[in-house]
Chain A
Amino acid sequence: ECGHGPYQPHEPGYGLYQPGYSPCDEQIPDPKSRMLAIQNAKAYLLKSSTTSGLNLYDHLANMLTKILDEQPTNAVDIIENISKDVKWAQFQKKMDTLRDEYEILPTFEAAEKCKALFLKANGEGYEELEEEIGEMPLPNVMETAFYFEQAGIGLSKDESYHIFLALKKLISVQPIQICRFWGKILGLEMNYIIAEVQYHEGEEDEETEEEEVIEEGGKGMGEVEDEDEEKEKEDEQPKSTYKPLPVIPKEENGTGANKYVYFVCNEPGKPWVKLPPVTPAQIVCARKIKKFFTGRLDAPVVSFPPFPGNEANYLRAQIARISAGTQISPIGFYQFAEEEGDEEEEGGGGRDTYEENPDFQPLSVAEMVDSLSSWVHHVQSILKQGRCVWLNPFQKSEEEEEEDEEEEKAEEPGELQQEIGPPLLTPLSEDEGIQNIPAWTAQPSTNLIPQYAVAILQSNRWPGAYAFACGKKFDNIYFGWGHKYSPENHTPALPPPAQPEYPSGPEITETSDPTLEEELAFKAARAEALAAALEEEEDTVEDDEEEEEED
C-alpha cells in the first residue's frame, strides 16, 4: 500500500514522499485527522485512573518490558498474573530508606532448641563416658528405628535422632537404670513423645508420701461431718444412706501398673515432664471414656463419668492400658526368677517378676510369624478393678475398725469376687480377638528376601502398637492417637438414676382427705369403742385417753 512513510534517511524513497502528492492520496484519510486519532488514543491511554493513579499506557509498557526481560513460556496463558505482579511491584520501593524489621519467626526458636540438643553439656568429658559404658541405660533408638522401618513403621530419621539425643539428656539428669523409647502419641495441638524408665533401686522421688497424707486428711474431714449430723436429734433430717465405695489404693511404685515411670515431652528439645503414678480409679474411668489428647498436660478432661484428674493422669492411664495389652516379647526371652514366690498369698496373685533368660535361643522369623504362641506378654494385664494384683477393699485395717464403731453400720454390699487375670508370660494365642478379627496381625517385613526379613506384629486391639523380632533383638513401640479399637460406636455411660431423697413411710405419704360421711362414720365408730372401753374400766381410776391426731 502507499504511504509507508515516514522513511528513514538511509532508505530509498526518502525525500520522495511529499504530502499531498503521493499517487494514493485520495484513498488514505487526511493524515492530520489520523494523527489526531492517534493522539486521542494515546491521551486516553495516558489518562490516570481515579482510584489508583496508574495509567494504562505505563502499565502496558511495564508489562511488556517485564515479559521481554523474563521471557516466560506460554506468556499468553499467565498474562493476567503478570499484570497483577506488575501492579503489586508498584508498592515495593527499592530505594526506600525504611527497612523491614527482621522478623523473628517461631521457627528460629525451635531451631535453637534443636541445636541445643547437639551441644555437649558443660563438664562432660570422656571420664563420664567410661563410667556409663558399664550400665548403658540409653537405648539404641536408631537401631530400633531401623528394624521398624523395614516394616514401614516409624518416624523420620531426623526425628528419631532428635529423640535419641533427648533421651540421652534425660538420662544425664535423672538417676535412671533402664530407659526405653515407648512411643509417640498424637494430640490436637501438640504431640507427646514418651519414654519408659526404671529408676535405680532406692532412688525414687519422695513425692508420693505427700499424696497419701492428703488423702487421709480428706477422709478424716468427711467423718467429722457425719458425727455432727448425728448430734442434731431435734429435727432429725433424713440421713443419707449413701456410702461411697471405698477407694481402691493405687499400686506401689515399682509394682503392677506403676512398675515403670514415664516421662513425656512435646518435642525433642523441650524439657521432660514426669507423669504421676496411675490409680485404679483412673484406669477404670479411662476405660469408659474416649477423648483426644490436646497436647497440654494440664488440660482438664471433660467427660462423663468425670475423670479423676487432668490430661497428665489420662495420658498415664492410657499408657498403662496400652503397655498391659501390647508389650510382648518372643517366648523364652524372659523367664521367671528361680525363687518361687508365695502362691497362696492373696489367692494366688501370681508371679510378677521376670528376668532375662541367658540361654535364650531365638526362633526363626518364619516361626515367629506363623504362630502367635511364639510371643508372650511380659507386662501384667490390668484387672477390672484397675490394678494388676487384686485387693479386697473391704478388708479393714486397724484404724478403720475403730472409726467404724462410731458410725452407723449400713448394709455392706456382698463380698467381692476375687478377680484373676491371665498370668505373666502368657502366649499371644490366648488373646481374644474382636468379633472375627484376631488380636494380632503378623507379617514378615519382606517376602522377597526371606533370609533377612524381620517378623512384625501389629495389634488390632490397640491400633498403633507394633512389635518386631529379629534373631535375639526385639522391641515394642506405639505410634497412634492412644485409643482402643472398637468396631461398635462409642456409647458414653448414662447418668445413674436419681437417688430417692428419703425413704417413703406412712408419715409422709399423701392420702386423699376423708369425705364427710367417712369422718362421721369414723367418729361414730370411735364413740362406740370409747363407750365399750369405759364400761370395762369402770373400776380403774386412770383413763387412758389418747388423743389421736386426725390426718
Chain B
Amino acid sequence: MEAAALPAALELVAGGGAGLSPEKRAVLRPSLLLLQRDYRFERVWFWGCIQGVRGAYYIAEGLGPDRAAPRSRLYSLNCVEWSLLPPATEEMVAQAGQLKGRFQGDPSFEYEYTEINTEDAERLFEDGKEPMIKEEARLVATIELIDRAVGIIPRGAFVKTPLGSVHENRNFEGLSLMEAKKLSSYFHFTEPVNLKNKTLLEKADLDPSTDFLDSLEHDTPQGSWTVQLEKGGTVVVLRSLLWLGLTFYHVPMTKQYGYVYFGTGEKNFDLPFML
C-alpha cells in the first residue's frame, strides 16, 4: 500500500485481525519518508510484515519512474533502520522453495538442507558451496514469490505508455461496485504469463494501454481468492488463500486501493484439500 495512505489503509485491512501497533504506525510515516529521500524513490510502498518465531520483518518497496520495473526491497526489524535486500535471482527462488517451516526472525540464521535431490546435491557440491541458505535470501525469495503470485491492482489503475513504461492512470476513478466483485477486474502486477495465450477474439476486446497484465480470473486453483464486502459493503477486500495473510482492499468509486501482507511467509500447499 502507498506509504501516504497508510493510516486509512490499515483501518480497511484490519478485518483479518492483523495490523500494526500504534508505535509502529507512528514511526513508519517518517521512516518511509526518509527512505524516499535517501534512495530517491518516486513511490514507497509498505509491503507488509512477515512474522518469524523470534521476531518480525517489516518490508518496504520503492518504485522508480517505471512502475513495472523490478522494485527495490528493504527490510527492517524495528521500522526505524532499513536495509536494502539484494534483488531476487531465479536460483535463490528455487533454493528457497525447498525450505519449509517458519522464519526465525534473525536475518543471519542459516538453514541446512534437510532433503536434497541427488541432482541438486551434485550441482551444489560441484560449485564448492555448502548447502546452507541464509534467512535473508529466503526472505528475498519469499517476497518475490508473493509479489509474483498474488500482488494485485485494480484494472485501469496503471497505464502503459507507447514507450513501454508504466505509470499510474490519473484518469482512474475506481471500479464500480459491480466490477469490484468480479475477479476479472483485478490484475497481477508482474510480467504477464497468460496474455499471449488468449485467443485473437479475446485480444481484440482488450485495450493495450490498460489490459497489459494477467487477470485473476484464471488463477489455479479456482477459488483461491475470497472476495468480500466489508464495513457494510463500502470496502471490497480480497484475501489470497494461496498465501494466507495477503489482503487487498479497494473502496469502489474512489482511488483508494492497495495490498499488504501480514503473515508467516509460508505458502499454503494444502489449498486444494481445503476448498
Answer yes or no: A489 CB below 8 A from chain B CBs: yes
Answer yes or no: A154 CB below 8 A from chain B CBs: yes
- Mask of B174-189 contacts with A, CB within 8 angstroms, 1/0: 0001000000000000
Q: Report Cα–Cα, A183/B18, bound state, in Å.
A: 12
Answer yes or no: A186 CB below 8 A from chain B CBs: yes
Structural contact, B274 and A153, CB atoms closer than 8 A: no
Most B Cβ at <10 Å: residue of A81, A110, A188, A492: A188
Binds A, one of B35-43, B83-91, B121-129, B232-240: B232-240
CB closest residue in chain B, given A466: B17
Question: With contacts A107-B232, A437-B102, A489-B270 known, is A152 near B16, CB below 8 A?
Answer: no
Give, as a whole number of angstroms, the nearest-CB distance from B46 to chain A. 13
Binds B, one of A122-130, A329-337, A479-487, A509-517: A479-487
Binds B, one of A230-238, A347-355, A438-446: A438-446
Answer yes or no: A149 CB below 8 A from chain B CBs: yes
Structural contact, B233 and A441, CB atoms closer than 8 A: no
Structural contact, B53 and A441, CB atoms closer than 8 A: yes
Which of A78, A114, A184, A447 is close to B232, meaning CB atoms less than 8 Å apart? A114
Structural contact, B234 and A151, CB atoms closer than 8 A: no
Structural contact, B270 and A290, CB atoms closer than 8 A: yes
Chain A residues in 8 Å Cβ range of B165? none
Chain B residues in 8 Å Cβ range of A111? 232-233
Answer yes or no: A190 CB below 8 A from chain B CBs: yes
Question: With contacts A114-B232, A158-B231, A191-B228 known, is A490 near B18, CB below 8 A?
Answer: no
Q: Report Cα–Cα, A479/B263, bound state, in Å.
A: 12
Answer yes or no: B11 CB below 8 A from chain A CBs: yes
Answer yes or no: A105 CB below 8 A from chain B CBs: yes
User: Which B residues from 80 to 123 make CB contacts under 8 A with A?
Assistant: 100-102
- Mask of A291-316 contacts with B, CB within 8 angstroms, 1/0: 11000000000000000000000000
Give, as a whole number of angstroms, the nearest-CB distance from A238 to chain B. 37
Question: With contacts A151-B21, A152-B18, A189-B228 known, is A489 near B269, CB below 8 A?
Answer: yes
Structural contact, B21 and A150, CB atoms closer than 8 A: yes
Structural contact, A153 and B232, CB atoms closer than 8 A: no
Answer yes or no: A370 CB below 8 A from chain B CBs: no
User: Which B residues from 150 to 185 make CB contacts under 8 A with A?
Assistant: 170-171, 177
Structural contact, B270 and A490, CB atoms closer than 8 A: yes
Chain A: number of interface residues, binned into ranges = 35 or more
Which of A292, A437, A445, A479 is close to B18, meaning CB atoms less than 8 Å apart? A479
Answer yes or no: A106 CB below 8 A from chain B CBs: yes
CB closest residue in chain B, given A458: B51
Chain B residues in 8 Å Cβ range of A463? 264
Give, as a whole number of angstroms, the nearest-CB distance from A314 to chain B. 12
Which of A106, A149, A156, A289 is close to B15, meaning CB atoms less than 8 Å apart? A156
Answer yes or no: B202 CB below 8 A from chain A CBs: no
Chain A residues in 8 Å Cβ range of B205? none
Question: With contacts A81-B171, A153-B19 known, is A189 near B232, CB below 8 A?
Answer: no
CB closest residue in chain A, given B101: A487
Q: Report Cα–Cα, A114/B232, bound state, in Å.
A: 8
Structural contact, A154 and B228, CB atoms closer than 8 A: no
- Mask of B6-42 contacts with A, CB within 8 angstroms, 1/0: 0000011011111111111000000000000000000
Answer yes or no: B226 CB below 8 A from chain A CBs: yes
Chain B residues in 8 Å Cβ range of A291? 273-275
CB closest residue in chain A, given B275: A292
Answer yes or no: B223 CB below 8 A from chain A CBs: yes
Answer yes or no: B133 CB below 8 A from chain A CBs: no
Structural contact, B232 and A437, CB atoms closer than 8 A: no
Which of A78, A183, A290, A437 is close to B171, meaning CB atoms less than 8 Å apart? A78
User: Which B residues from 221 to 256 make CB contacts under 8 A with A?
Assistant: 223, 226, 228-229, 231-234, 239, 241, 244
The B interface, classified by DSSP as helix, strand, loop or mixed, is: loop
CB closest residue in chain A, given B102: A437
Give, as a whole number of angstroms, the nearest-CB distance from A310 to chain B. 17
The A interface, classified by DSSP as helix, strand, loop or mixed, is: loop
Q: Report Cα–Cα, A290/B270, bound state, in Å.
A: 8
Structural contact, A149 and B22, CB atoms closer than 8 A: yes
Which of B20, B228, B239, B244 is close to A152, meaning CB atoms less than 8 Å apart? B20
Give, as a whole number of angstroms, the nearest-CB distance from B206 to chain A. 16
Most B Cβ at <10 Å: residue of A155, A157, A183, A445: A155
Give, as a whole number of angstroms, the nearest-CB distance from A460 to chain B. 7
Structural contact, B233 and A105, CB atoms closer than 8 A: yes
Chain A residues in 8 Å Cβ range of B53? 437-438, 441, 460
Answer yes or no: B54 CB below 8 A from chain A CBs: yes
Q: Report Cα–Cα, A392/B135, bound state, in Å.
A: 49
Which of B17, B223, B234, B241 is close to A155, meaning CB atoms less than 8 Å apart? B17
Structural contact, A155 and B21, CB atoms closer than 8 A: no
CB closest residue in chain B, given A84: B171
Chain A residues in 8 Å Cβ range of B11? 156-158
Question: With contacts A150-B22, A446-B23, A492-B273 known, is A479 near B233, CB below 8 A?
Answer: no
Structural contact, B101 and A153, CB atoms closer than 8 A: no
Chain B residues in 8 Å Cβ range of A184? 17
Question: With contacts A110-B232, A186-B16, A189-B226 known, is A460 near B102, CB below 8 A?
Answer: yes
Q: Report Cα–Cα, A111/B275, bound state, in Å.
A: 31
Chain A residues in 8 Å Cβ range of B226? 186-189
Structural contact, A490 and B273, CB atoms closer than 8 A: yes
Answer yes or no: A529 CB below 8 A from chain B CBs: no
Question: Residues of B with Cβ closer than 8 Å to A?
Answer: 11-12, 14-24, 51, 53-54, 78, 100-102, 170-171, 177, 223, 226, 228-229, 231-234, 239, 241, 244, 264, 269-270, 273-275
Apart from the given pairs A190-B228, A191-B15, 16 other A-B contacts in the complex at a CB distance below 8 Å = A110-B232, A110-B233, A149-B21, A156-B12, A156-B14, A156-B15, A186-B15, A189-B228, A289-B273, A292-B241, A445-B23, A447-B78, A464-B17, A483-B274, A490-B269, A490-B270
Report 14 cross-chain contacts, Cβ distance below 8 Å, ordered by A residue: A105-B233, A110-B233, A114-B232, A155-B15, A156-B11, A158-B11, A186-B226, A188-B223, A189-B226, A191-B15, A191-B228, A460-B53, A463-B264, A479-B16
